[in-house]
């Protein structure tokens, strides 16, 4: 059995062991389809979503202002090509903007996210 398969199985086992701490979210990328130079309007199609398992690993939420909260999420990212091209995560009804990718090894990723006035 290859090392890649072993690591993938270990990640699956770890996320299963976390049980109800795991949330299901959707990753989105916002792109512009076209720009109208006359009116300055931008046509933006609905972004495609990637469903992903998320674990909130924040030790202490940082409140930037009364309307902004920063957290760290651990993502199971085998099905995602690159997190640097994605803009935000939706968990339930909450939208979290991806601020920084702390690390990504192809199996899991740690991202800093911000919720609030985006």
The pLDDT tens digits along the chain (118 residues) read 788 888 888 888 888 898 888 999 888 877 656 666 777 666 655 567 888 888 888 867 766 666 678 888 988 877 676 777 788 888 888 888 888 888 888 788 888 888 864 4
What pLDDT score does 118 carry? 43
- What are the backbone angles phi and psi of residue 96, rounded to the nearest 5°? -120, 120
At the topology level of CATH, where does 3-115 sit?
Answer: Thrombin, subunit H (2.40.10)
Which residue blocks in 1-118 are alpha helix, DSSP H? Answer: 3-17
Cα–Cα distances (Å) from 18 to 30, 55, 60, 66, 108, in that order, read: 31, 8, 19, 30, 14
Name the residue ranges covered by the structural domains of the chain: 3-115
């Amino acid at each position: 059995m290859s090392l890649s398969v072993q690591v993938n199985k270990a990640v699956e086992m770890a996320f299963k062991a976390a049980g109800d701490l795991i949330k299901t979210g959707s990753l989105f990328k916002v792109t512009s389809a076209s720009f109208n130079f006359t009116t300055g309007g931008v046509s933006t199609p609905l972004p495609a979503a990637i469903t992903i398992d998320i674990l909130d690993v924040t030790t202490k939420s940082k409140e930037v202002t009364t309307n902004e909260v920063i957290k760290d999420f651990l993502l199971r990212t085998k099905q995602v090509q690159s997190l640097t091209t994605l803009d935000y995560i939706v968990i339930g009804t909450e939208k979290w903007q991806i601020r920084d990718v702390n690390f990504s090894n192809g199996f899991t990723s740690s991202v800093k996210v911000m919720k609030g006035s985006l």
